[in-house]
Structure 1
Amino acid sequence: MPGPPAALREALSAAARSPRLLVAADFDGTLAPIVAHPPDARPAPGALAALTALAELPGVTVALVSGRALADLRLLSGARAPIRLVGSHGAEFEDGFDAAIDTALREQILAALTDIAEAAPGVTVEAKPAGAALHIRNAAPSVGAAALDRARAAARNWPAKLTAGKAVLEFSVLHTDKGAAVQRLRDELRCETVVFLGDDVTDETVFDRLGGADVGVKVGQGPTAAAHRVEDPAAVVAVLAFLRAARDG
């Protein structure tokens, strides 16, 4: 497996010298390859072992920060303590949600998205603790686009947060994001440096907050505020292995 690019190796080596280091990553598309059916997602070979090895080093905290519900993230990632888990795009920590959930609004959104999906072959709805997501990955392009248009039109009546991702539109009754979640972890742990890896539009809220010796790594194609880029989850495993070796050495 080829190692990280030279500029990224240099940035990771500098980050590894931080007294308190936070290493955080998205799950789908970053640690796990994107799959047609979300429940089938699993970490890339070696990903969980690399995360666990990092988490066992002194002064290092490892976290997964995902759009998935916390229970799903725990099940599919296989991650256990000391790895920290944050679900629902930063809203769902292991000690609960940051704010009260508007359950009536959540049910209204879920019902409307279900109606849209039932009329659009290949479009599916994922219920989440603080909202719902409309997936169009398995729909014909014209069918998926029309379903998204209907969902956006319906959302004009909802005081909900919309987040567009890769072939998915998510609706949350809590107004937060991954960037705020990573900042909360940084503040709680008093980490001087953050290394964050992510592949989706929602991960840009983290990249936008990084500075100083922090290291942002975009996985895959697309515009990004991250200073570094790698190709796929296999390359992410190589990044994690390099960071562990740099820290341990």
Structure 2
Amino acid sequence: MVNSLPHPTTPTGRDGLAALLARPEKAVVALDFDGTLAEIVPDPEQARAHPGAVAALAALAPEVASVAVVTGRPAGVAVRYGGFAGVPGLEHLVVLGHYGAERWDAVTGTVRAVAPHPGVASVRAELPGFLDRAGAWPGVWIEEKGRAVAVHTRRALEPEGAFEALKGPLGDLAVAHGLVLEPGRMVLELRPPGMDKGVALAEYVREVGAGSVLYAGDDLGDLPAFAAVEKLRSDGTPGVLVCSGSTEVPELSDRADLSVQGPAGVVAFLTELARAVREA
């Protein structure tokens, strides 16, 4: 292992990294998009992968069983914002969008998807009037996500106050339409039950038959993926949990084996991991 590769601070993390380096061809490297490969920005439509992300992934992907991007965004959007299509070295990249409800495979360049939940369309129609009646703050806005709907408070005058005030009412609205409410970093997402990054990751790891797994994320929505890796470890599959560091989500950093400084830190880690795998 090269000295510049960061070392996990936990024994299970060190075991997971050692297993990955010993047999990289059996490893799945999975990553969140926003906050992990791309900086968090006020307008999610302006998010783009870190300038070094594609090169780092293209260097690592041929050395491992699979690289997967696991995101709440539509798969096609993550592909466009990430710049993942048609990149040499990323021929077998997989994007699990909408928490696994959509899947884009680089080898075919196509998206496969399950049928949408009817509750999402109902919430989409009701939400503007609902927010008005709830006295939503100026700057609170709705993001259409196809198979989910998100309410952002980051632009509000009091982002945390708006977030806390809306969490209960939006939770009730979600339940009324057969959905669940998923809090994030100044965002509240209404989406179908049974859709989360943990389910998507666990199913994909089983499909690949991975001998080890690494997952990197930054937000509350990544906690199910962390839990999935912890379950895999308890069942005998070594794993590494990486936090794309944020003071906003201590729940994630407290459970991580390794923390890095945002997307730039993730890219640097992936670059060094690719080098370590080649030199192992």
TM-score over 0.5 for the pair = yes
**Residues 74 and 85 in structure 1, CA contact (< 8 A), matched pair in contact too:** yes
Q: Within 5 A, what are the aligned runs for 1:174-213?
A: 174-210=193-229, 211=233, 212-213=237-238
Distance in 2 (CA, whole Å) between partners of 1:83 and 1:197 is: 16
Within the alignment, does 1:100 sit opposite 2:95 as a pair?
Answer: no
Distance in 1 (CA, whole Å) between partners of 2:80 and 2:131 is: 26
How far 1:42 moved relative to its partner? 1.0
How far 1:149 moved relative to its partner? 3.8
Within the alignment, does 1:218 sit opposite 2:243 as a pair?
Answer: yes
How far 1:244 moved relative to its partner? 0.6
How far 1:116 moved relative to its partner? 4.2
How far 1:207 moved relative to its partner? 1.1
Q: 1:198 to 1:233 in 2, by over 3 A?
A: same
Q: 1:71 to 1:6 in 2, by over 3 A?
A: closer
Q: Give the total of aligned pairs.
A: 245
Q: Within 5 A, what are the aligned runs for 1:57-68?
A: 57=63, 59-68=64-73
The aligned residue for residue 113 of structure 1 is 127
Distance in 2 (CA, whole Å) between partners of 1:4 and 1:235 is: 11
Distance in 1 (CA, whole Å) between partners of 2:260 and 2:274 is: 17
Q: 1:14 to 1:151 in 2, by over 3 A?
A: same
Distance in 2 (CA, whole Å) between partners of 1:151 and 1:208 is: 25
Within the alignment, does 1:134 sit opposite 2:155 as a pair?
Answer: no
How far 1:4 moved relative to its partner? 4.8
Letter in 1 for 2:21: A
The aligned residue for residue 70 of structure 1 is 75
Within the alignment, does 1:28 sit opposite 2:34 as a pair?
Answer: yes
How far 1:165 moved relative to its partner? 0.8
Distance in 2 (CA, whole Å) between partners of 1:158 and 1:243 is: 44
**Residues 4 and 230 in structure 1, CA contact (< 8 A), matched pair in contact too:** no
Q: Within 5 A, what are the aligned runs for 1:140-159?
A: 140-141=157-158, 142-159=161-178
**Residues 180 and 190 in structure 2, CA contact (< 8 A), matched pair in contact too:** yes
Distance in 2 (CA, whole Å) between partners of 1:144 and 1:22 is: 35
Unpaired runs of 5+ residues, structure 2, are 86-90, 105-110
The aligned residue for residue 92 of structure 2 is 82
How far 1:117 moved relative to its partner? 4.8
Q: Deviations over 1:21-44 (max 9, x none)?
A: 101100100111110100111111
Distance in 1 (CA, whole Å) between partners of 2:51 and 2:170 is: 36
Question: Secondary structure of 1:64's partner?
Answer: strand
**Residues 217 and 229 in structure 1, CA contact (< 8 A), matched pair in contact too:** yes
Distance in 2 (CA, whole Å) between partners of 1:16 and 1:161 is: 38
TM-score by length of 1: 0.89
What's the C-alpha RMSD, in Å, of the aligned pairs? 2.2
Distance in 2 (CA, whole Å) between partners of 1:76 and 1:237 is: 16
Question: Secondary structure of 1:181's partner?
Answer: helix
Distance in 1 (CA, whole Å) between partners of 2:274 and 2:6 is: 16
How far 1:100 moved relative to its partner? 3.1
Within the alignment, does 1:239 sit opposite 2:269 as a pair?
Answer: yes
Return the structure number with greater helix share: 2
Distance in 2 (CA, whole Å) between partners of 1:87 and 1:227 is: 25
Q: 1:144 to 1:203 in 2, by over 3 A?
A: closer
Q: 1:30 to 1:47 in 2, by over 3 A?
A: same
Letter in 2 for 1:36: P
Unpaired runs of 5+ residues, structure 1, are none
Q: 1:143 to 1:174 in 2, by over 3 A?
A: closer
Distance in 1 (CA, whole Å) between partners of 2:176 and 2:79 is: 33
**Residues 91 and 174 in structure 1, CA contact (< 8 A), matched pair in contact too:** no
Distance in 1 (CA, whole Å) between partners of 2:257 and 2:73 is: 26
Distance in 2 (CA, whole Å) between partners of 1:244 and 1:13 is: 14
**Residues 106 and 130 in structure 1, CA contact (< 8 A), matched pair in contact too:** yes
